């Protein structure tokens, strides 16, 4: 019974545009056939063409199996060092929530934080007159006054800007330190946070690790041919992928880096097909192309140094994801983009 | 009968092969006369939308300069009357059929509305940008195509039926104890361990022995470091040496942190308090409830190192500052994964690591 119904199935499959792919099981082929994708029928044609091309190459050399060079690549990254910039909408939203909280929360319990008659208490009284609220980063706004309805920022107001809020906090701390210190001769200076834009950003120094602090940076190297890639080198016999990646890193960017390899598994791969298969005379093999498997690593300290590299690399850069797209081949970027961090 | 089998199969499958698929392969290009009605014309609606965000739309300079809502309100000769009707949410939820329904908790007019978040915490950003992807890479397990994991033994064992009394008995528990552990599922992109909540719990035995001042101070201290209202708890156990009776003495305070508060507290703990602890080797490697929650304790003098307490340390009676237990609940299903997450986020572990 089974064979006979198989016969019927075969008749049905003849009626519909067929996909002859032996690697797909019969039930899946039925499902695929029902979908009527035009692209699905193209695969057998290209396959037969490649089979037809092969014998001409293999007649001159007794090559049995076309092979690929296996490369170990390394995606060495510096994680973000500072928080990201907030979007204008996020700034407005957080500021709105802060003033809303001011209206809904119980008033500040002053007596718990300031003892009466102390210099800190005097300083507090002076400030609250000026600021109208206990919060130091929401501007002049009293949620309990008759004009509490006026809680929206006007155009070009800077109160919602995080940089401005930090400045206000620091100024407040400075004022407290100056008002409460015994020594009135010298003014107290409270250090500001370092700027988010560094010297390297201003100079456009793409070799510095101090650039683009809120972003993840990746090490990109320029190979002999002048094209940019992530560092990679062929895996040697008897070597694991991770060992090969560590060796690649040492050979390409030197040992003057404190790095941490994340795990033993590759996070992405890229296949490079040669236009014409390269023939390795000694081994008697035919090389179709290269397959590169990328392992992930983090840099903790140090800097890349190409003066000792044995891979013939010419230059290196620390780039973010979007910048990498400008330097590498589009096909290469397509393969690696999903393993690069968005931020 | 057997001869008719294929034809029956054919009759069943033929319509499937010929019938068009459920999704139309070509674009639907049928037009109706009603499509030209102004109400149906989609393009007009789209044209009305502003293409730019209202935050970016430039305004004329004189409008910006002359706009002063407070001055406009004051220059009015007579003030506007108060709105006759001010919405008050009902005090009690009287069920779904009552006409006066409370607004949802996200509505600022709701009685249970809590404003926030007020910021995007640094710890959360670090987790999203670096830690989560690293944990995913570290925990990846490669199975070749076609690999099927060997079948696992049942978690609850059968009785071997050696005795007639085994009939209808409930199944036996796992070997080595009666506790049925959590199933540990593979860590995938959608199940990377993350912080779920942090519980700060402080048991103050003097609250039962002496006076309630101890509990008040403990509550204030925990509130200060957590930015959350604390809950108080009565003792469930009887401790006669401390003269604590169950259900009588209120002896503990607890604050539960989630979201923004949790990340800010964790950041302060890891970057401000823990580095300043003296002779503290780290969290014990044996800590954990074997389902991904790690607990450790802080002494009173260590709690006093939190910046919120340090800033007005004088206002707390120095003897009454409480110690506390901090439980970090993670979404990991095993302590091993929770420890991996916490050590990546900066919590040190010491001693024998028990998974």
Show residues of chain A in contact with B120, CB under 8 Å: 83-84, 86, 90, 94
Which residue, among A199, A198, A141, has the nearest Cα to A168 in the 3D structure? A141
CB contact under 8 A, B137 and A263: yes
B10 touches chain A (CB under 8 A): yes
Cβ A216–B140 below 8 Å, yes or no?
A: no
Q: Evaluate if residue A109 carries a pLDDT over 80.
A: yes
Residues of A in contact with B55 (CB under 8 A): 88-89, 92
pLDDT of residue B217: 96
B129 and A86: CB-CB below 8 Å?
no
Is B222 strand, coil or helix? helix
Nearest chain A residue to B309 by CA distance is A113
Average per-residue pLDDT in chain B?
88
Looking at residue A252, its pLDDT comes to 95
Place of tokens 């039962």: B208
Residue B282 lies in a domain: yes
In chain B, the percentage of residues whose pLDDT exceeds 90 is 66
Task: Name the band, by pLDDT with cuts 50, 70 and 90, for residue A54.
Answer: very low
The backbone torsions φ and ψ at residue A155, rounded to the nearest 5 degrees and listed phi first, read -60, 140
Spatial CB neighbours of A48, under 8 Å, sequence gap ≥ 6: none
Number of CB atoms found within 10 A of residue B130's CB: 19
Mutate one of A6, A11, A17 to test the B interface: name it (highest B CB count within 10 A).
Answer: A11
B window 74-113, beta carbon within 8 A of A: 108, 113
Residues B143-155 have a mean pLDDT of 88
CA angle B188–B194–B197, rounded 5-degree value = 145
The pLDDT score that the predictor gives to residue B11 is 58
By the 8 A CB rule, do B194 and B330 touch? Answer: yes
A80 contacts on B by Cβ (under 8 Å): 125-126, 129-130
Question: Residue A75: which pLDDT band, with cuts at 50, 70 and 90?
Answer: very high
pLDDT of residue A19: 47
Q: Which residues of B touch A155 (CB under 8 A)?
A: 59, 64, 67
The pTM for the full model equals 0.81
For A248-291, what is each residue's pLDDT tens digit? Answer: 999 999 999 999 999 999 999 999 999 998 887 777 788 899 99
Q: Is the pLDDT of residue A63 over 90?
A: no
pLDDT at B207 (0 to 100): 94
Q: Which of B14, B70, B108 sits opposite A100 (nearest CB)?
A: B108
- A chain contacts of residue B6, beta-carbon cutoff 8 Å: 4-5, 7-8
- Say how many domains are in chain B: 1
Q: What is the pLDDT of residues A201-226, one digit of tens each?
A: 999 999 999 999 999 999 999 999 99
Question: What is the pLDDT at residue B59?
Answer: 81
Distances (CA, A) of B250 to B117, B216, B253, B303: 32, 11, 9, 21
CB contact under 8 A, B312 and A341: no
**CB-hemisphere CA count at 13 Å for B189?**
2
Domain with residue B309: its CATH number is 3.30.1440.10
**What is the domain extent for residue B251?**
201-350
Look at B53 and A147 and tell me if their CB atoms are within 8 Å.
no
- By C-alpha distance, which of B2, B5, B9, B3 is closest to A12? B9
- Partner-chain contact A298 B134, CB within 8 Å: yes
Residue B172 DSSP one-character state: B
Helices (H), B56-150: 61-66, 69-75, 122-126, 132-138
Cross-chain residue pair B115–A97, CB shorter than 8 Å: yes
Please report the pLDDT score of residue B52 as a whole number.
73
Q: What is the ipTM of this complex?
A: 0.81
Helix (H, G, I), strand (E, B) or coil at A153: coil
With a CB cutoff of 8 Å and minimum separation 6, the contacts of B29 are none
Phi, psi of A314 (to 5 degrees): -100, -35
B5 vs A5, A11, A79: nearest CB: A5
Q: Which percentage of chain B shows pLDDT scores above 70?
A: 87
More confident residue, B54 or B307: B307
Nearest chain A residue (CA) to B113:
A104
Q: Looking at the complex, report in whole angstroms how far the Cα of residue A14 sits from the nearest Cα belonging to chain B.
A: 10
Tokens of B246: 């169950």
CB contact under 8 A, A83 and B315: no
Which pLDDT belongs to residue B32?
72
Over residues B166-224, the pLDDT tens digits come to 999 999 988 888 888 898 889 999 999 999 999 999 999 999 999 999 999 999 999 99
Q: List pLDDT tens digits, range A90-100.
A: 999 999 999 99
The CA distance from A298 to the nearest CA of chain B, in Å, is 10
For testing contact with chain A, the best of B11, B115, B217 (most A CBs within 10 A): B115
Which residue in this structure is represented by tokens 């990109």?
Answer: A220
Query: Out of B117, B120, B130, whose CB is closest to A79?
Result: B130
Q: Which of residues 212-251 of B touch A (CB under 8 A)?
A: 220
pLDDT for residue A12: 53
How far is residue A111's CA from residue B315's CA, in Å, rounded to a whole number? 9
**Three-class SS state of B47:** helix
- The pLDDT of residue A278 is 86
| Cα angle: B51, vertex B118, B109; to 5 degrees | 85
Cα distance from A68 to chain B (closest Cα, Å)? 20
CATH architecture entry for A61-81+206-339: Alpha-Beta Complex (3.90)
Q: Which two tokens stand for residue B310?
A: 């340090």
Predicted confidence at residue B319, as pLDDT, reads: 94
Listed by number, the residues of chain B in 121-180 with a beta carbon closer than 8 Å to a beta carbon of chain A are 122, 125-126, 128-130, 133-134, 137-138, 140, 142
Phi, psi for B317 (deg, rounded to 5): -60, 120
Nearest by CB to B138, from A100, A113, A262: name it.
Answer: A262
**From the list B5, B73, B120, which residue is nearest A4 (CB)?**
B5
- The predicted pLDDT at position B39 comes to 57
CA B54, CA A273: separation in Å to the nearest integer? 49
What are the domain boundaries of chain A? Answer: 2-51, 61-81+206-339, 88-180
Residues of B in contact with A156 (CB under 8 A): 64
Q: pLDDT class for B40, splitting at 50, 70, 90?
A: low
CB contact under 8 A, A80 and B14: no
Mutate to test the interface with B, among A18, A75, A79 (most CBs of B within 10 A): A79
All residues of chain A having their beta carbon less than 8 Å from the beta carbon of residue B64 are 154-156
Nearest CA distance, A71 vs chain B (angstrom): 19
Q: Is B5 helix (H, G, I), strand (E, B) or coil?
A: helix
Question: Order of strands, edge to edge, in the sheet holding B250-257?
Answer: B231-234, B250-257, B195-203, B324-330, B293-298
Tell me which of B287 and A42 has the higher pLDDT: B287
* Separation in Å, CA of B116 to nearest CA in chain A: 6
Q: Which residues, in sequence order, are CB contacts of A211 under 8 Å at separation 6+? A: A198, A200, A201, A205, A217, A318
The two tokens of residue B103 are 């607004």
pLDDT greater at residue A138 or residue B175: A138
Residues 57-76 of B with CB under 8 A from A: 59, 64, 67, 69-70, 73
pLDDT confidence of residue B245:
93
pLDDT tens column, A146-202:
889 999 999 889 999 999 999 999 999 999 898 888 877 888 889 999 999 999 999
Residues of B in Cβ contact (< 8 Å) with A4:
2, 5-6
pLDDT of residue A7: 62
Reported confidence tier of residue B152, pLDDT bands at 50, 70, 90? confident
Start-to-end CA span in chain B (Å) = 64
């Amino acid at each position: 019974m089974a064979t006979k119904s198989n016969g019927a199935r075969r008749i049905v499959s003849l009626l519909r545009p067929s996909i002859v792919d032996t690697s797909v099981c019969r039930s899946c082929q039925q499902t695929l056939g029902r979908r009527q994708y035009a692209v699905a029928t193209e695969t057998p044609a290209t396959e037969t063409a490649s089979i037809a091309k092969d014998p001409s190459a293999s007649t001159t050399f007794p090559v049995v199996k076309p092979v690929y060079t296996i490369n170990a690549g390394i995606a060495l990254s510096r994680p973000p060092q500072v928080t990201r910039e907030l979007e204008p909408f996020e700034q407005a939203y957080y500021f709105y929530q802060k003033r809303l909280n001011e209206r809904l929360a119980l008033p500040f319990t002053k007596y718990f934080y300031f003892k009466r008659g102390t210099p800190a208490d005097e300083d507090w009284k002076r400030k609250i007159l000026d600021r109208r609220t206990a919060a130091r980063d929401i501007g002049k706004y009293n949620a309990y006054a008759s004009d509490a309805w006026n809680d929206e920022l006007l155009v070009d107001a800077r109160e919602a800007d995080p940089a401005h809020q930090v400045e206000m906090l620091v100024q407040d701390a400075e004022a407290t330190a100056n008002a409460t210190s015994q020594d009135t001769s010298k003014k107290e200076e409270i250090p500001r946070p370092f700027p988010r834009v560094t010297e390297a950003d201003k100079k456009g120094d793409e070799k510095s690790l101090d650039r683009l602090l809120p972003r993840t940076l990746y090490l990109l190297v320029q190979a002999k041919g002048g094209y940019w890639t992530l560092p990679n080198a062929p895996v040697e016999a008897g070597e694991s992928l991770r060992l090969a990646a560590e060796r690649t890193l040492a050979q390409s960017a030197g040992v003057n880096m404190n790095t941490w390899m994340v795990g033993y598994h590759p996070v992405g791969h890229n296949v490079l097909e040669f236009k014409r298969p390269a023939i390795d005379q000694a081994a008697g093999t035919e090389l179709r192309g290269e397959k590169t498997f990328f392992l992930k690593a983090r840099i903790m300290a140090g800097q890349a140094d190409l003066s000792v590299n044995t891979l013939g690399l010419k230059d290196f850069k620390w780039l973010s994801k979007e910048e990498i797209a400008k330097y590498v081949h589009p096909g290469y970027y397509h393969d690696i983009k999903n393993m690069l961090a968005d931020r | 009968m057997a001869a008719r089998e294929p034809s029956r199969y054919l009759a069943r499958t033929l319509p499937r092969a010929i019938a068009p698929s459920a999704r139309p392969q070509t674009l639907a290009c049928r037009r109706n006369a009603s499509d030209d009605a102004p109400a149906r014309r989609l393009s007009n609606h789209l044209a009305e939308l502003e293409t730019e965000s209202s935050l970016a739309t430039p305004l004329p300079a004189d409008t910006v300069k002359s706009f002063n809502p407070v001055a406009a309100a004051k220059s009015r000769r007579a003030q506007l009357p108060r709105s006759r009707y001010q919405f008050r949410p009902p005090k009690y939820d009287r069920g779904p059929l009552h006409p006066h329904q409370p607004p949802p908790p996200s509505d600022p007019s709701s009685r249970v509305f809590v404003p926030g978040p007020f910021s995007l915490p640094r710890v959360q950003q670090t987790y999203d940008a670096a830690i989560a992807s690293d944990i995913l890479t570290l925990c990846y397990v490669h199975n070749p195509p076609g690999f099927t994991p060997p079948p696992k033994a049942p978690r609850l064992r059968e009785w071997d039926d050696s005795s007639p009394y085994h009939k209808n008995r409930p199944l036996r528990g796992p070997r080595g104890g009666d506790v049925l552990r959590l199933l540990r599922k593979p860590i995938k992109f959608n199940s990377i361990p993350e912080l779920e909540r942090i519980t700060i719990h402080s048991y103050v035995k003097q609250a039962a022995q002496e006076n309630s001042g101890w509990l008040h101070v403990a509550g204030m201290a925990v509130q200060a470091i957590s930015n959350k209202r604390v809950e108080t708890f009565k003792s469930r156990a009887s401790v006669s040496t401390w003269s604590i009776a169950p259900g009588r003495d209120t002896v503990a305070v607890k604050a539960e942190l989630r979201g923004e508060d949790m990340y800010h507290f964790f950041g302060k703990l890891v970057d401000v308090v823990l580095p300043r602890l003296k002779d503290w080797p780290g969290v014990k490697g044996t800590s954990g409830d074997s389902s991904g929650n790690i607990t450790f304790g802080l002494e009173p003098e260590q709690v006093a190192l939190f910046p919120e307490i340090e800033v007005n340390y004088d206002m707390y009676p120095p003897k009454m500052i409480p110690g506390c237990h901090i439980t970090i609940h993670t979404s990991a299903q095993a302590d091993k994964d929770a420890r991996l997450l916490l050590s990546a986020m900066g919590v040190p572990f010491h001693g024998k690591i028990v998974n």
